[in-house]
């Protein structure tokens, strides 16, 4: 790739892969305000996050195979246009049921950007180069959790939370135009011609123990991360009484840490094995979540809580990059379907767990920390029992 082409593709794919944090993180500071405006429970307002995540999870299952058969450009364009439209519906929704439906479809459409951006990366890269490119994407992607809540917090200060969705609609418009400029990277001779054959790829992928291990790693590690996303605004604004603006800066600070850590796989690609980065990153997350339980239990100072959450969240980008690259590199021409299944795995459980944490109340952060610890323990089990044996056998 030329420098100019690499720069364009990094920005283009980085924003597409960031559709999830853009659609969720930007309105996190607004959740307590929206809860009061809609007059609903904590779990129900967290369900607005769940609907988006479920939409993104299911959308990837459809978008991946379709992009393998029809090419990347047209499914991506349709997805961005629908994302723009459903964001506009969220602006005017006054009924929580309509809002939830719009959020689901917004996530479903945004999934096209997530899964197809990864498939495009696989079209143009392979091996250590793919790991480096994914790492760069994670760094670009890392800007979204930093900027999105800060922007959302300022919007809430100056105007209604509905303007957050106006910004999302504008992003959908910009990415629709960018998709029109993008040149197809999947030539017709490399496309799958039979949709049934494409669908049948999923059972084959699931039966592959090594690939399934990466799906489970993605599922459990991002479950912990989305539990944090769904609960953090209530923990900081409810328990520690910080303002939406201060919360947005805390969330952005942790997001900066995730972005900084995202550069490590690129730096060490080819020198440190992906499986080693994966193993030790998971160990750090487990220890941080264990310490977080104790910190919440003794009602530690907010600075310590932020520090432990930072230590817990930073390795997410390393785990996501290493596992995704390892899993996707093993699949060749099924990159779209493999990317879809990995992406589905990374969102489905986290989306379900977000409102579950709300059922335990918002008076303490202990339930959040316990659920994150359980998720990390399951991630370690999947890695050690399904992924690492394959590498020890080489």
Q: Reduced to 3 states, what is the DSSP secondary structure of residue 240?
A: coil
Contact 23, 90 (CB under 8 A): no
| Residue 175 scores a pLDDT above 90 | yes
pLDDT at position 43 is: 83
**Tens-place pLDDT, residues 291-331:** 999 999 999 999 999 999 999 999 988 888 888 878 877 77
105 vs 204, higher pLDDT: 105
| Residue 131 scores a pLDDT above 90 | no
CA-to-CA distance for 229 and 249, rounded, in angstroms? 14
| Residue 46 scores a pLDDT above 80 | yes
CA-to-CA distance for 14 and 179, rounded, in angstroms? 13
Lowest-confidence region among 131-140, 178-187, 202-211:
131-140
The pTM of this model reads 0.75
Terminus-to-terminus CA distance in the chain, angstroms? 31
CA-to-CA distance for 217 and 153, rounded, in angstroms? 32
**Tens-place pLDDT, residues 323-358:** 887 887 777 666 667 877 887 888 888 878 877 776
Distance of CA 6 to the CA centre of its chain: 23
> Domain range for residue 67?
3-392
Counted domains in the chain: 1
Check which CATH number belongs to the domain holding 360 and give it. 1.20.1250.20
């Amino acid at each position: 790739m030329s420098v100019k082409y690499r720069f364009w593709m990094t920005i283009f794919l980085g924003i597409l892969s960031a559709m999830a944090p853009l659609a969720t993180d930007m309105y996190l500071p607004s959740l307590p305000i929206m809860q009061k405006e809609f007059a609903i429970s904590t779990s129900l307002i967290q369900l607005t996050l769940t609907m988006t995540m479920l939409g993104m999870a299911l959308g990837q299952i459809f978008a991946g195979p379709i992009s393998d058969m029809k090419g990347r450009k047209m499914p991506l364009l349709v997805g961005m246009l629908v994302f723009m439209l459903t964001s506009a519906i969220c602006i005017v929704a006054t009924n929580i049921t309509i809002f939830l439906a719009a959020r689901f479809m917004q996530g479903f459409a945004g999934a096209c950007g997530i899964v197809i951006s990864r498939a495009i990366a696989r079209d143009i890269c392979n091996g250590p180069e793919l790991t480096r490119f994914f790492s760069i994407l994670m760094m670009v992607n890392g800007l979204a959790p930093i900027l999105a809540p800060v922007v959302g917090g300022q919007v809430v200060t100056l105007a209604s939370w509905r303007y957050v969705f106006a910004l999302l609609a504008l992003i959908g418009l910009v990415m629709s135009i960018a998709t029109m400029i993008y040149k197809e990277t999947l030539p017709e001779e490399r496309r799958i011609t039979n949709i049934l054959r494409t669908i049948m790829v999923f059972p084959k992928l699931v039966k592959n123990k090594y690939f399934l291990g990466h799906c489970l790693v993605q599922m459990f590690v991002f479950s912990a991360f989305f539990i944090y996303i769904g609960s953090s605004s209530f923990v900081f604004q409810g328990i520690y009484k910080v303002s939406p603006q201060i919360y947005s800066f805390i969330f952005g600070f942790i997001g900066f840490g995730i972005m900084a850590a995202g550069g490590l796989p690129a730096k060490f690609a080819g020198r440190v094995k992906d499986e080693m980065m994966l193993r030790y990153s998971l160990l750090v997350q487990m220890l941080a979540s264990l310490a977080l339980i104790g910190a919440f239990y003794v009602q530690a100072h907010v600075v310590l809580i932020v520090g432990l959450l930072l230590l817990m969240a930073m390795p997410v980008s390393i785990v996501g990059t290493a596992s995704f690259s390892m899993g996707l590199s093993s699949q060749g021409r099924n990159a779209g379907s493999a990317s879809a299944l990995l992406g589905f795995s990374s969102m489905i459980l986290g989306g379900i767990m977000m409102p579950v944490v709300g059922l335990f109340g918002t008076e303490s952060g202990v339930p959040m920390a316990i659920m994150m610890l359980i998720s990390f323990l399951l991630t370690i089990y999947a890695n050690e029992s399904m992924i690492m044996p394959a590498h020890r056998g080489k």
